[in-house]
Structure 1
């Protein structure tokens, strides 16, 4: 693979790309929804091409070796010993959030108050209530306020929706923080749905992802862990993810709620997931190196632009930019007029921020920074 692989722009126009269609025929760089503009690992493309060449696309089932590949991967990367029976494959992580809410049927579900939007909608669409828990910023890291969490728990609270690495903000929770969370949940008999979709997107050297359920048997028994290859390998459009549920009774309820409503992963989604987890690590390490360089560039440049601030962050390719000092009446319109399309912070619960996707060639990122600087200095 050429060293400049990730520098090569890919024309995604006229490909039914959600990301690029939003600003069709407008001079706005799409840097909002969380997919990257990189071609995926060649081993994935080759596996898909071979499967398509077969020419028959009937009903399918999970490849026999996929669960074994997954258990080996979790052991190798995180030291987490899992059982193949724990895995429930799904056509997307968001469906896992909704299924978790329906499985637990918590009258009140707790979530961080600044969070990926489906965390707030899933509890209410499942017939319950959503209650946001404040987050605190410690040396740039956004964390759940554990005191506020504990104070919010009542007899009506049975479920916590958790996100690690956190989206937005890119925080990776450390072991002591996870242990504190596990202790609170055990003491109050809470179940947890832990969204860990960005677990492979750690940019900070020396920082490691620790699956919440890997801490011990008690927390494992009360946790539904959600993971997927989609962010890691840029295959979100192929629709594959997995719920890891160690407790058999909880897993059975989850499967029952899912039955007849949420379909299986499609043929090409399974094909891509297997190829990614078996043979995609070399490509992924190159991607991480490139994204780390993009992050460091963005940290330096954003903090030179009047009105914008960006705290150092550990993970994801999603920068959580503080725009308070810019004092903008309509941030979305302002930045789109400048030619940069970002995700508005209000969608995540805080309109003092904008989220910028830097999973793109450096040339695109440099142009976005140039446009932002021009808009805020003219």
Structure 2
């Protein structure tokens, strides 16, 4: 049977409708490669499922239904070899709400939440949102890969630390953590009696086939009992504004605490988001595999282009559609204080690394048609030639 063809080269005018990504530069000739959503249409299977549900015409309050739960359970088994029970699932409108809730049940106000930077910006604000204290350890670059500084991790953990907040696969550095790294993290959490909240929203976007994503909670039962795993179809199938995510919490007591913290705070999940989630996990894998092939081509273009630009450097992303670019040599050589503003003036909108806890870096989203990416890379090259 011939694999279905999906057109990731199609240019869709996102300026015609409200859009955070493209609206930031409304009226300006700036290509937005910043916020983490892609410029591709959602999978046909998802769009067809949404049309059928909309045609029904009634949108009353709805809880997760059996075929949705089955699609997620089957999807985690198929994609990650992780066998979960349906009652482990807690439905959420998004993973950001999910890890803020985790902070809220981690110890008491004033206790510590430990995470590794650079990291997705809401990680840095979630502890304070719930009266906890952010504790940061820096990832280090060794042998072309961002890695854990194990000595620093131990030194940063204090008697008041109550939770490890993990991003896996990692945003923005693009790492797929090896199983030995994950086991070492699980051992660290057990020795210090830490709750673990693992944001694994990019788990469906592994670009390096030799490094499959392994959920931390799938390693063993002891680690699973202290872990809240957050996932969503939003990044993989490009449906972030449909607001549907879930936590996988194997331990019943921890799950009860988590659900209790949700009361009166977390709204029902969007019914269209749940419809899209079922279609994505059940019928969206052919689209996902085609997407990954396209993203690998885009990643290779970015790696080649950045290697040729003076003063810029990056590692090869193993997952996500995000490139983490070190601009510090360029800044020193050219007297540039704000690399994001520098490239924005050249017509390319990138995410400022300062928001991730790493000034001097930029994050580039290559989840876009190749024509858009090539144009953006050419603009960056011209800016550095001037």
- What pairs up with 1:130-279 in 2 under 5 angstroms? 130-279=134-283
Looking at structure 1, the residues matched to 295 and 143 of structure 2 have their Cα atoms a distance apart, in angstroms, of: 22
RMSD in angstroms over aligned alpha carbons?
1.2
Following TM superposition, by how much is the alpha carbon of 1:205 offset from its aligned partner in structure 2, in angstroms? 2.6
Looking at structure 2, the residues matched to 141 and 16 of structure 1 have their Cα atoms a distance apart, in angstroms, of: 37
Looking at structure 1, the residues matched to 71 and 156 of structure 2 have their Cα atoms a distance apart, in angstroms, of: 40
Choose the corresponding residue for 1:330, options 311, 316, 338.
338
Following TM superposition, by how much is the alpha carbon of 1:139 offset from its aligned partner in structure 2, in angstroms? 2.2
Counterpart contact for 1:146–1:181, Cα < 8 Å: no
* 1:76 pairs with 2:78: yes
The size of the alignment, in residue pairs, is 378
- What pairs up with 1:305-320 in 2 under 5 angstroms? 305-320=309-324
Following TM superposition, by how much is the alpha carbon of 1:57 offset from its aligned partner in structure 2, in angstroms? 1.3
**Gap regions ≥5 residues in structure 2:** none
* 1:286 pairs with 2:290: yes
Counterpart contact for 2:136–2:156, Cα < 8 Å: no
Aligned position for 1:371: 379
TM-score in terms of structure 2 length: 0.96
Looking at structure 2, the residues matched to 139 and 323 of structure 1 have their Cα atoms a distance apart, in angstroms, of: 19
Q: Deviations 1:154-188 (Å, cap 9, x if unpaired)? A: 22111010011111110000011111111111111
Following TM superposition, by how much is the alpha carbon of 1:129 offset from its aligned partner in structure 2, in angstroms? 0.5
Q: Cα distance 1:28–1:2, how it changes in 2: closer, same or farther (>3 A)? A: farther
Counterpart contact for 1:105–1:126, Cα < 8 Å: no
SS of alignment partner, residue 220 of structure 1: helix
Looking at structure 2, the residues matched to 173 and 157 of structure 1 have their Cα atoms a distance apart, in angstroms, of: 23
**Gap regions ≥5 residues in structure 1:** none
Looking at structure 2, the residues matched to 4 and 159 of structure 1 have their Cα atoms a distance apart, in angstroms, of: 42
Aligned position for 1:20: 22
Looking at structure 2, the residues matched to 224 and 146 of structure 1 have their Cα atoms a distance apart, in angstroms, of: 22
SS of alignment partner, residue 228 of structure 2: strand
